Structures are given as C-alpha cells and as structure tokens.
Amino acid sequence: MKISGGLEKGRQTATKRLFSKLLKGRELRPTTSKVREALFDIIMKKIEGAVFVDLYAGTGTVGLEALSRGASKAIFVEPDDLLVKTIKKNIDEFGFQKRAFVFKGKAYEFLVRSSEEKDSFDIFFLDPPYHSKEIDKILPIIGEKRLLKEGGIVIVENYFKKEMPEKASNLMKKKSYRYGDTMLTIYRNL
C-alpha cells in the first residue's frame, strides 16, 4: 500500500509479506487507494493542522496519509500486536514520531479513556470490519461523550448495504458517498 498524497506521496506503508502473515485466521480489509483519495478529497479543507483519529487503524495507512497531508497529529487505535508493530515501524521510517501516537487497544477503550481525560478531536475515521456491530456501538459514544470538536467531522467507511443511522447521540448524518461496495458516511455535531 502506498501513500497517495501529501509530503510522503508514493511511499510504501505495508507489504504483501505483512498481509500473508496476517491472513492466517484473521480478516484484514485495508481501505483501497481509491477510497482513501476520496476520503481526503472530502476532508481536504479540514486536514491541515487537525488532530486525526484512525479508530480502527489496521496497517495505519490512513493515519499516515493524514500526517502526510498536513494533520498536526494522528492517533492510531489498534489492538493487534503485529499491526501495532507495523504502524510504529512506519511512523519511525516516515519521521512522524513527534506527530503520531499509537494506542494499543480497542476503539471503545480509547474513547472511554479520552472521555475521562476530557480530550476532543477534529476528525475521526472509523473503518471497522464491515459485518460487525462496532459502528452501532461506537458512533453514539463519540457523540455522547462530546469527543468531536466544534466543526469536527466523523467519517465512517461502511458496506454499502448497511443502513447507517441518521442520528447517533449528538451526531447527525450529513452525507454519504458510494465507491463500489464501499460507502463513506459523514457525521457532524448537532
């Protein structure tokens, strides 16, 4: 996988060798370059200086791209040891150590901790496994705990057949974009 824009455009983030190691009993569905480019086109005016949270980081490519495109900070949330190691390696190789933070744990744990610490963020990117119930569980927490800054945005990558809620606690659905079987659904604070 390669970074598709910004200062690090063209740099490799994850290799086929990593995927072959991961696919032994585990599902990994990285965001395609087409969807990543669309995502960053949508948030183009918001990314510069933003605090970006990649809530289901996987290989970390989306968060790395956010840093490449001008985010002031990216937080990678990932429970898998091998993926965390890969993300940290890429952060070091790209020279993003001062602007990147890796939280080894689940999305729910990160949100609870952030709420306790009264943190808030500019952009959340959620890309959980398509057929899980994670979106239904996590979206309301972001809204309820007021983890999204004023003017911030939540982008959910979801399967096009999944019915996305119009409202999730303090978040309201604004728009959806379809790319093949993938949807990007945008939420903002009420």
DSSP the chain: -B--SSTTTT-B---HHHHHHHTTT----PPPHHHHHHHHHHTHHHHTT-EEEETT-TTSHHHHHHHHTT-SEEEEEE--HHHHHHHHHHHHHHT-TTTEEEEES-HHHHHHHHHHTT--EEEEEE---TTSSHHHHHHHHHHHTT-EEEEEEEEEEEETTS---SEETTEEEEEEEEETTEEEEEEEE-
The per-residue pLDDT for range 163-183, each reduced to its tens digit, is 999 999 999 999 999 999 999
What average pLDDT does this structure show over 122-143? 94
Percent of the chain at pLDDT > 90 equals 76
Which residues have CB under 8 Å from 45's CB, separation 6+?
A: none
Higher-confidence residue of 25 and 8: namely 8
Query: Domains along the chain?
Result: 16-189 (3.40.50.150)
Give tens-digit pLDDT for 70-97.
999 999 999 999 889 989 999 999 999 9
Of residues 15 and 61, the one with the higher pLDDT is 61
Residue type, 122: D
Q: 129 and 159 in contact (C-beta within 8 Å)? A: no
Q: Give pLDDT, residue 5.
A: 64
Question: For 17-70, how does the pLDDT look when each residue is reduced to its tens digit (9 = 90+)?
Answer: 555 555 555 556 678 778 999 999 999 999 999 999 999 998 899 999 999 999
CA distances from 179 to 33, 51, 158, 183 (A): 11, 26, 10, 6
Task: Considering only residues 106 and 9, tell me which one the structure prediction assigns the higher pLDDT.
Answer: 106
Alpha-carbon dihedral 143, 144, 150, 156, rounded to 10 degrees: -10
Q: What is the pLDDT of residue 170?
A: 94
- Work out the mean pLDDT of the chain and round it to a whole number: 89
